[in-house]
Each structure stands twice: as C-alpha cells, then as structure tokens.
C-alpha cells in the first residue's frame, strides 16, 4: 500500500534537504475547476508526487487546486508530464520563483480544504467562470497610465508593506474574506472605471475579479499569474517594473526581490529595511521586519521580553509556552498588530 502521508520528523527532513546536492526549482500554480471527490484526487496527487520527490504545500477543494512546491531539476520534465496528463491541468501556467535557492520546502503536504481560498462567499449564484480579463505585464503597464484606472492590491498588509504596484490601493483588512466586501465598498462610485486586481500568484485576485463583476463592476481585470509572473515577463521583455520593492512569498524565503527599492522600515529602529523574520521566541513567532543591527541586538526577537525568554533554560521556556498557540503570530494578517516599532 502506498504511503499517503509523511512519517519522518521535520528536523530529519530538513537535514536531508540540506544534504541534497542536486538543485531544486520552486514553483507555484493554481487552477479553479470542479473536483467531484477532493479526497480521492488528493490521494492520487500525493502518491504520484511523492515518487517524484516533490516537496511543498498543495490544497485541494471542490473548487480547484492551489500549490507551492519544489521539484528536483532532473524530475522537472517528469513532473510537468504528470501534471499535464491531468486533463484540467494540461498546459497550466507554472510560476517559477525568481530569487530562489530551491530550499523552500522539505516535506510534501497535500490537504483537502473547503475552498482553496477562504472567501466567505455563500451565495450559490456566484460563479467563478465569470471572472475579470487577464492582463500580461505589458498590458498592465499600459493600462496603469490611464487616469480611469484603479489598481487594487488583494494581499495582506505585511505583503503590501514591503512591495506593491505604484499608487496601488491597499484593502486594510485581516482576511481575504473581509477584503472582498471591503473592496466593493471602497470602490463604490467607480463601477465604470478600469479596476486592476493583483496578488502574489494570481489565485486571490482571480476570485476577487469575479466577485467585483458579480457586484456590478463592469471593467474588471486581474494580473495573470500575479506578481511572480509579472516580474518574469517584465524581465524577459525589458519593461520597467511598475511593481516596486519586494514580493512577499509564503515559504522560508519570505520574499523575492523585484526592484532594488526598499520601501519599508525596520519595526524596531525605523531604518530602511524589508527583511521579514519570525520572532525567535517559540512562544511568540510574530512576523515582523527587522534589520541586521536589530537582529543582533535582540537576538532575532521582536522585543526585550522575548529576548529574555530565549535565554531561559529550555524547560522553563516550554513551561511558559504551555497552553499557548506558538504559531498564532506567524503570517499575522492584522495591520493593527504589526506595530511600527515593537519596542516603543
């Protein structure tokens, strides 16, 4: 019987990854399409990708698939052949990471979810087939010049903070499902304008574009393949990037640089900086921006209090963490909780 889940410790898997000598490629992809039996499809994917030594996170739901993975270079063509053998995924666009060492993932996790993007939409009349028009990099650059165009960032604050399109509107909410109705409210009176929606890899802005059309907006567009694909196309075509700064990504890298602009600041000292980190205190793990100087000063922690805790004996640290969800602050979405300076 084939193994359908990982049975090795995370520590051992990380060690195995670091010993690999063959390069890996980090890839992301998604597709909205009906899946009648998500669990069966999940098991089929796991068995096939496990054999190919694919690592990463894949979510499967009745509405489609969402994946962020890494593949050994020698298995890349085999992986593509397998993926494209699935009728609904044939010739699917694959977003290849830009600033990447291939060490983003060390285990394969394929999970069944209610939706591949939690949206809070319960109306049976909502239809993902009626979505906004795709825009490539050149089309985005051209349309942005139009005074009747509004660019909307459908990502979270910590993503927007380190990089975004010029003059993009941030939707200041904690979750994507809160962003959707908020975007509609914020754009009232602009129903006839060009609305460009974008996100990291395209999955959120594609659904957002369908929602905006559903709510009566007429000229809705979304960036094909998100920021990842835009950066790739802009580089290949020699276009000036209208996206400035860093693109936040949900793996160990926590970001890939698009332009040299540093538009964010260290949350502790206020110096220009766009390097995200998670607080080294296992009872905190707050995601925040920290410069090298403050990293040394606070030992990678977000505050003096957390620094002091990391210097306690490990058993005492575990006692303090007991009953606390230590991952609660990882990828924290709240703009309100990401204080400008954590030690003020």
Does residue 199 have an active-site annotation? yes
Q: Give the bridge partners for 29, in sequence order.
A: 67
User: Which residue among the candidates 199, 273, 279, 294 is catalytic per the annotation?
Assistant: 199
Greatest distance between any 2 Cα atoms in the chain: 62
CA end-to-end span of the chain: 57
Smallest Cα–Cα separation from 152: which of 117, 199, 190, 188? 199
Residues 308, 320: Cα–Cα separation, whole Å: 12
Q: Which residues are catalytic?
A: 199
């Amino acid at each position: 019987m084939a193994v359908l889940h990982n049975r090795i410790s995370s520590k051992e898997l990380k060690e195995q990854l670091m010993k690999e000598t063959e390069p890996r490629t980090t890839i992301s992809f998604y597709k909205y399409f009906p899946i009648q039996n998500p669990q069966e499809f999940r098991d089929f994917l796991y068995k096939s990708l496990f054999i190919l030594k694919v690592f990463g996170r894949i979510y499967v739901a009745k509405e489609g698939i969402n994946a962020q993975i890494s593949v050994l270079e020698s298995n890349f063509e085999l992986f593509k052949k397998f993926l494209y053998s699935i009728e609904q995924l044939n010739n699917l666009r694959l977003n290849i990471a830009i600033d990447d060492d291939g060490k983003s993932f060390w285990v394969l996790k394929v999970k069944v979810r209610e939706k591949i993007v939690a949206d809070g939409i319960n109306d049976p009349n909502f239809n993902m087939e009626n979505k906004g028009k795709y825009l490539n990099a050149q089309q985005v650059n051209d349309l942005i010049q139009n005074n009747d165009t509004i660019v909307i960032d459908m990502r979270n604050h910590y993503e927007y903070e380190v990089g975004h399109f010029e003059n993009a509107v941030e939707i200041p909410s904690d979750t994507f499902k809160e962003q959707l109705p908020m975007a509609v409210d914020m754009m009232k009176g602009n129903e006839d304008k060009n609305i460009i929606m974008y996100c990291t890899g395209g999955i959120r802005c594609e659904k957002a574009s369908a929602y905006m059309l559903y709510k009566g907006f007429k000229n809705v567009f979304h960036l094909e393949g998100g920021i990842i694909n835009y950066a790739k196309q802009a580089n290949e075509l020699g276009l000036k990037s209208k996206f400035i700064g860093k693109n936040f990504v949900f793996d160990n890298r926590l970001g890939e640089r698009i332009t040299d602009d540093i538009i964010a600041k260290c949350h502790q000292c206020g110096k220009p900086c766009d390097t995200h980190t998670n607080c080294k205190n296992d009872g905190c793990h707050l995601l925040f921006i920290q410069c090298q100087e403050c990293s040394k000063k606070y030992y990678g922690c977000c505050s003096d209090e957390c620094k002091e805790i990391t210097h306690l004996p490990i058993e005492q640290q575990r006692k303090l963490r007991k009953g606390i969800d230590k991952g609660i602050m990882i990828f924290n979405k709240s703009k309100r909780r990401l204080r400008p300076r954590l030690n003020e």
